[in-house]
Chains A and B, each alone.
Chain A
Amino acid sequence: MSVTLAPKVDAGTRVPAAPRKHRYLVWAVVAAVLIVALTYALPPFRNYQLATVGAYLCVTAGLTVLTGLNGQLSLGHGALMATGAYTVAMVQEKLAGRGQWTLLVAVLAGIAVATVAGGIVGLAAARLRGPYLAGLTLAVAVVVPAIASTFDKTFNSDQGLSVYVDPPPLALGATFPYERWQAWLAWAGALLTVFLLATLVRGRFGRALRAVRDDEAAARIAGVNVARTQVLAFVVSAACAGLGGALFAVLAQSVSPGAFPISLSLFLVMAIVIGGLGSLAGAVWGAVLLVALPALTHSLTELIDVSPAVAQRLEGNLPLALFGITLIVVMLAAPGGIASLRLRRRKA
């Protein structure tokens, strides 16, 4: 995936080039073909990890647009994912067993609920700056899992809810691996998200997002409705987080408050910074790291010969340490993130 966010303008004609409308569509189709091919090559567990990358990508892509392009830091996107995930669980419980279409309805409902939640947070966020915005979104990250833990009857407290997901459609064959189906679902969502975001941010809306990020007063004078732009950015980003959360529920077939801790929200921000803030390619890197680094620590702890108790503790904390170290190393080597490194090499 290589999607640059800066609009291309044709210098020769002296008129901004008409957007090459189908460029992103071509990218999306090529990526889809590659992913499908990959799912046939990978063993089931790797397919599950690939699916998880897809689900994370929905969230990191939306978050990098909000934080990187619009300058609004959100430490609460894990909570927005949770709203999407719980909605899927509850809708599927009502509709279970009526066919594959119920999943689509459930996921759309998850996106809708997260979008509304994001809109409410966004309205408050548009009035806050810097550390105050970080504080508000952090509060959201704390409150949402707490709500899920508190209301036994609706959310089943800390045990959470199970998510009913139909087996792969029979048309794909009776022996079609479930993990491959999950990877297809997750990446359908991820590619759609990235395609829509890339299309959205390359034009007028994207310029407005960046103008507001760079200088609010100047943006206002230039005619940009700053508050509306900020709320819209939050809404778009929340919808992406809702989709990501919904896909997580589908992948794990369960939702619980423990799946959406504060550290998830922090990991998401770290991931987009490491990948490259404001870059959708960077969001892909971030999503890969979110899956790869915990998997790497898991392999590491298996290598070392320690007692099970120590191993468990290591597995809980090592990913954090590894993420922190990666963040420091990448920031030292390439302050613009991994995506900027690649761009620089291409230009040279």
Chain B
Amino acid sequence: MTRPAPATDPDSDGLSLHRIGVRFGGLVALDDVSLRVPPGRTVGVIGPNGAGKTTLFNVVCGFVTPTTGTITLDGRALRPRPHRLARLGIARTLQGVGLFGGLTVLENVMVGAEHAGRRPESAWEALERCGVTPQAHALPGGLPYAVRKRVALARALVAQPRLLLLDEPAGGLGADEIAELGELITGLPCAVLLVEHHMDLVMAVCDEILVLDFGKPVAHGTPAEIRTDQAVVDAYLGAAA
């Protein structure tokens, strides 16, 4: 996987999570998780259900305040508020689709454009990139699931983010659709933080992978390293992988 050479200052550029911990009452959702997403790189987060992957996203987005640890963006402390992320250059898709059912596909994407300071016309470019231009005037409710997921992706991409958080983008998609999604992700100019269960996709598009289990980092490395890591095989991939 070739990507533009990262960062003149490799330690501070991009998004960094330092020793993040999240507790919900007695439940430890994340425990001492550190992660860096350098500009232009694709980083995957995998792990079994309940491992804390979505919580990690929610921490970056400001939906969840970490109990311990800090987040920095390009070396500066980030105290995220969800509605300010777009302006900071961070976009996110939700698990499921999270579209506005009462707005047309085009309007959905226009909301994303307007509140990220982009021209409304850029909505068409995002629709085209995700291949949903023909459905621009349809309401999302009547569209196939795969198309709706692409609309959600278009709404995130229209902000022209520096960092894109994808929460299970392949969920509910067929094999061909996942292959297309993989190509789309690989072609993105921005950094990507990807949470996904579909291993083929993760292995194909990620530069590095963090494996979580019960909120704890189990392994961190390139796809090749992760595939052969004994702890990962035990915790997640299973003996057959």
Residues on A facing B (Cβ under 8 Å): 6-7, 9, 11, 14-16, 204, 207-208, 210-211, 213-215, 217-226
A224 and B63 contact, CB distance less than 8 A: no
Interface string of B109-135 (1 = CB under 8 A from A): 011101110001101100000000100
- Given A11-B136, A218-B98, also A223-B123 (CB < 8 A): no
When distances are taken between beta carbons in the complex, the residues of chain A under 8 Å from B87 are 223
Q: Please judge, given known A-B contacts A207-B103, A211-B100, A214-B100, whether A221 and B85 are in contact too, CB under 8 Å.
A: yes
Distance of A223 Cα from B161 Cα, bound (Å)? 12
CB-defined contacts of A214 to chain B, threshold 8 Å: 99-103
CB distance from A204 to the nearest CB of B (A): 5
Query: In the complex, given contacts A11-B136, A207-B103, what are 13 additional A-B residue pairs having Cβ atoms less than 8 angstroms apart?
Result: A6-B104, A7-B107, A16-B106, A207-B110, A210-B100, A210-B103, A213-B102, A214-B101, A220-B83, A222-B155, A223-B84, A223-B114, A224-B111
Distance between A219 CB and nearest chain B CB, rounded to angstroms: 7
Say whether B137 faces chain A, with CB atoms less than 8 Å apart.
Answer: yes
- Residue in chain B with minimal CB distance to A225: B83
What are 6 of the A-B contact pairs (CB < 8 Å)? A210-B102, A218-B98, A220-B83, A221-B91, A221-B98, A222-B155
Determine the interface band of chain B, counting residues with CB < 8 A from chain A.
35 or more
Question: In the docked arrangement, what's the CA distance between A213 and B92, Å?
Answer: 19
Give chain B nearest CB distance to A65 CB in angstroms: 13
B112 to A222, Cβ gap below 8 A? yes
Query: In whole angstroms, how far apart are the Cα atoms of A4 and B23 in the complex?
Result: 48
User: Knowing A11-B137, A214-B102, A221-B94 touch, does A16 contact B121 (C-beta < 8 A)?
Assistant: yes
Residues of B within 8 A of A7 (CB): 107
**B63 neighbours in A (Cβ, 8 Å):** 217
Q: Which residues of B contact A204 (CB under 8 A)?
A: 114
Contact digits for B63-103, partner A, Cβ 8 Å, 1 yes 0 no: 10000000000000000001111110001101000111111
Instruction: Check A223 against B116 for contact (C-beta < 8 Å).
Output: yes
B202 contacts partner chain A, Cβ-Cβ < 8 Å: no
**For B137, what are the chain A residues with a Cβ–Cβ distance below 8 Å?**
9, 11
Across the interface, B111 reaches (CB within 8 A) one of A9, A14, A207, namely A207
Cβ of B61 < 8 Å from any Cβ of A?
Answer: yes
Interchain CA distance A301-B26 in the complex, whole Å: 67
The B38-78 residues at the A interface (CB cut-off 8 A) are 61, 63
